[in-house]
Structure 1
Amino acid sequence: MPDFRFSFLTHKDLPQLRETFLKAFADYVVPVQLSEEQLKDKVEREGIEPSFSVGAFVGEEMVGFILSGLGEWQRRPTAYNAGTGVVPTYRGYGLTQKMYAFLVPKLRESGIEQCLLEVIQDNTPALRAYQSIGLHITRSLHCFRALKQELLLLVEEPEQITISPTGQPDWKTYRCLWDVEPTWQNNIDSIRRSAGQSQTLEARNKHQEIVGYISFFRKNGAVAQLAVDEQWRGQGIGTALLREAGKLVEAPSIMFINIEDTAQTMLSFMQRRHFRLILKQYEMLMPIA
C-alpha cells in the first residue's frame, strides 16, 4: 500500500493539478484536453475553490484529486465535484473514497449541506465508488455534439422575430420558459460567474416580448441554455437562435452537455438538427448536513 498523503490545494498547485488531470484522464472513455486557459475557464465557470479541493500525494507526486465547486443547488449550500481523477498506477486503493473522507468534514464545518456530481453511466468503477460513499442517482442526462457545418439549420426564418445579443439577461423571464432545471455547469450562477466567456441572445416578437433565448460559451461552443416559449414552439425560433449562436462560436463544434432525459421536446429538437449523442451521464447527490 502506497503511503498516501492528502491535502487541500492552493492556486499554486494548479499547474501540477493540470499535469495530474491529463495523466488521470489519458485512458478516459472521452478524449480529454485541458490547456492552462481551459483549466482557468473551468475554475471560473464551475466555481472551483482550490482550498476545498483535495490532492492525494505519494511523496511530492500528485496522484489523485477532487475538484470542488461551491455554490447553491436547489437553495442549499452545495459542493459540486467538478472532476475526480486518479493516475492509473494508483487505482484500486480506494482513493476516491479516501479523498471524500478527507473532504467531507471540512465541507460540514463550512456549512455545506450536500455533495453533487455527474458520472458517465458506463463508468461502472466510478459509479460504484460514488454509491459506496452514499451518493444516489437523481436523474439521467444526455450529451450531444455536432460540427457546425453538419447542423441542419437551413430552415425558413421565423416571421416577425428579431434575434439580438443582450448584456443584461432577464433570468426571471427565462426561467418561465424552462421545461427542466439546468445542471450545475449550465445553471444561471455558472453563466454569471463566467460572464467574460458566455453570451446570451434573445428572440423577441413584434411586441418586443421575449419568446426564446440561448446562452452559450463562445470558445468551446457549449450551449448552457436554450429555451423557447411553449406557445411559440414549432416556428423555427430555436433553430434561428442556434444558427446565430453558431456564427459567434469560435470552436468547430456545438455541444449540449447534460440535457435531462425527460426533456423530450429538447431531445427531439437535437435529433432533428443532426446532433449526435456522445454519452450519457447520471447526476448524483448526497446530503451531508
Structure 2
Amino acid sequence: MIHVKQLEYCSLNEVLEAWNEGFKGYVADLHMDTDAFLKRTVQEKLSPRYSHVAFDDAKPIGILVSGIKERGGIKTSWNGGTGVHPDYRDQGVGHKLVEASLKLYEQENVELATLEAVSDNDPAIHLYEKHGYIVEDHLSILQHNGQIHSTFEIRLLEKQLSPEHLSQIGWYPVKLPWQCHEDQAGEMFIRGFYKGEELIGYTVQKKQEEYGELSRIAVYQLEMNPAYQGDEPLIQAFLNQALYADKNLKRTIINVRHSNALFEPVLSLGFQEAFKQVWMLQTLNNK
C-alpha cells in the first residue's frame, strides 16, 4: 500500500534510498551519500519537517524536499526536488507527494509556493500544473570563460551593500528563484553601482580566488534600475563592471530570468546557456 509521511519521521537510510532511487535517470547526476545530502539540506535551507517520503508498505519509493521561509514579507515555500523510483513512475506517486506538500504549506500559512522544473521535463511540468502551479518565467544558467570583449566608456561608482539595503530598493524583485535569494547559505557579496547618487544596478554573487587573484564568480542576482534599462551605454557600463569584463576568469550566472531586461544584453557578451528550467509559482489563499 502506497502512503506518504513527513521526512522527519523517516530514517536517514530510508531518505537516502528514496532520493537516490527517485532521481535515477535524471538529467543530472543527483546521487548522494549521507554527507552530501545533509550538506545540501543545510545549504538550500530545506527542512525534514516540510519534506515528504513515499512508501510502498516499508519500501521508500519517492521523495519531495521542501523549505519554507519569509522573504519580502511573503511566506514562501520551495519544492527543492521531487523524485520517484523508476518502477513506480506514472502510478500516481508524484501526485501523492505534491498533494501532501501543498496540504502542509497551507497548514504553515504559506502564501507563495515555488519550484523549478527542467524545461523539457513535460511530465513534471504537467504534474505541477494539475496541482495549481503556473509557469511564471523561464530560467537559464549562463557561463562565460575568459575576458569579455567590450568597450569601457562610462565608469560607475561601486559600493558594497547589505541585504537590508536591498530590501529598501523600490525596484527590488521580491519574487526570485529560491537559490538566488541573498540569504542563502554561504558568503554572498552584494555590489551596488551608482551614477552620482542614483543606484543603476546591483549584483549578488560569490567570488573565488586562486593565488590571491579572482578566478571565478557565481552571480545570483543581476538587476538593473528600470529607469535606465533603455540606456545602452549605462547597460554596457554596468555589465562591464558587474561581470569583471577585463579579467580572465570563469563566470556563471545562476537562474537568470528570461524576463530580466539584462538577459539579452548578457547573451550578446558571449555567455552560453548551460541549463534551462521553468520557474513555477502558485499563490495560496491563506490570508
SS at match of 1:243: coil
Residue number in structure 1 paired with 2:202: 213
Residue number in structure 1 paired with 2:50: 52
**Contiguous gaps of at least 5 residues in structure 2:** 209-215
CA distance in 1, matches of 2:65, 2:140: 21
CA distance in 2, matches of 1:168, 1:284: 24
Question: Is the Cα contact below 8 Å between 1:48 and 1:68 reproduced in 2?
Answer: yes
Residues 123 and 239 (structure 1 numbering): CA distance in 2 closer, same or farther, change over 3 Å?
Answer: same
> Letter of the aligned partner of 2:284 in structure 1?
P
CA distance in 2, matches of 1:164, 1:245: 19
Residue number in structure 1 paired with 2:242: 241
Question: Is the Cα contact below 8 Å between 1:4 and 1:56 reproduced in 2?
Answer: yes
Of 161-170 and 59-68, more deviation after overlay is shown by 161-170
Please show how residues 68-79 of structure 1 align to structure 2 within 5 Å. Answer: 68-72=66-70, 75-79=73-77
> Letter of the aligned partner of 2:150 in structure 1?
V
Please show how residues 114-125 of structure 1 align to structure 2 within 5 Å. Answer: 114-125=112-123
Residues 199 and 143 (structure 1 numbering): CA distance in 2 closer, same or farther, change over 3 Å?
Answer: same
> Letter of the aligned partner of 1:142 in structure 2?
L
Residues 89 and 110 (structure 1 numbering): CA distance in 2 closer, same or farther, change over 3 Å?
Answer: same
> Letter of the aligned partner of 2:235 in structure 1?
G
Q: How far did residue 94 of structure 1 move?
A: 0.7
Q: How far did residue 204 of structure 1 move?
A: 3.5
Question: Is the Cα contact below 8 Å between 2:155 and 2:237 reproduced in 1?
Answer: no
Q: 2:133 aligns with which of 124, 136, 143?
A: 136
1:17-71 C-alpha deviation (Å, 9 max, x unpaired): 4554343333223454657676556434543221110011345543211111112
Q: Are residues 1:281 and 2:285 paired?
A: no
Question: Is the Cα contact below 8 Å between 1:68 and 1:79 reproduced in 2?
Answer: yes
Q: Are residues 1:224 and 2:220 paired?
A: yes
Residues 208 and 103 (structure 1 numbering): CA distance in 2 closer, same or farther, change over 3 Å?
Answer: closer
Q: Are residues 1:155 and 2:150 paired?
A: yes
CA distance in 2, matches of 1:17, 1:213: 39
More strand by share: 2
Question: Is the Cα contact below 8 Å between 1:166 and 1:202 reproduced in 2?
Answer: yes
TM-score scaled by length of structure 1: 0.76
CA distance in 2, matches of 1:60, 1:79: 28
Q: How far did residue 285 of structure 1 move?
A: 1.4
CA distance in 1, matches of 2:153, 2:36: 36
Please show how residues 30-179 of structure 1 align to structure 2 within 5 Å. Answer: 30-32=28-30, 39=37, 42-44=40-42, 46-58=44-56, 60-72=58-70, 75-133=73-131, 135-149=132-146, 153-157=148-152, 159-163=154-158, 165-166=160-161, 170-172=165-167, 174-176=169-171
SS at match of 2:183: helix
Q: Are residues 1:200 and 2:190 paired?
A: yes
**Contiguous gaps of at least 5 residues in structure 1:** none
Supply the RMSD in Å over aligned alpha carbons.
3.6
Question: Is the Cα contact below 8 Å between 2:190 and 2:203 reproduced in 1?
Answer: yes
Residue-pair matches, total? 273
Residues 224 and 174 (structure 1 numbering): CA distance in 2 closer, same or farther, change over 3 Å?
Answer: farther
> Letter of the aligned partner of 1:144 in structure 2?
I
1:232-260 C-alpha deviation (Å, 9 max, x unpaired): 6234222221128988x9xx55133141x
Q: How far did residue 75 of structure 1 move?
A: 4.5
Q: Are residues 1:185 and 2:179 paired?
A: yes
Once the two structures are aligned, what percentage of the paired residues are identical?
Answer: 18
Q: How far did residue 218 of structure 1 move?
A: 4.3
Residues 175 and 197 (structure 1 numbering): CA distance in 2 closer, same or farther, change over 3 Å?
Answer: farther
Q: How far did residue 172 of structure 1 move?
A: 3.8
Question: Is the Cα contact below 8 Å between 1:163 and 1:241 reproduced in 2?
Answer: no
CA distance in 1, matches of 2:95, 2:113: 13
CA distance in 2, matches of 1:221, 1:73: 25
1:55-93 C-alpha deviation (Å, 9 max, x unpaired): 113455432111111124675433221111112122122
Residues 132 and 60 (structure 1 numbering): CA distance in 2 closer, same or farther, change over 3 Å?
Answer: same
SS at match of 1:78: strand
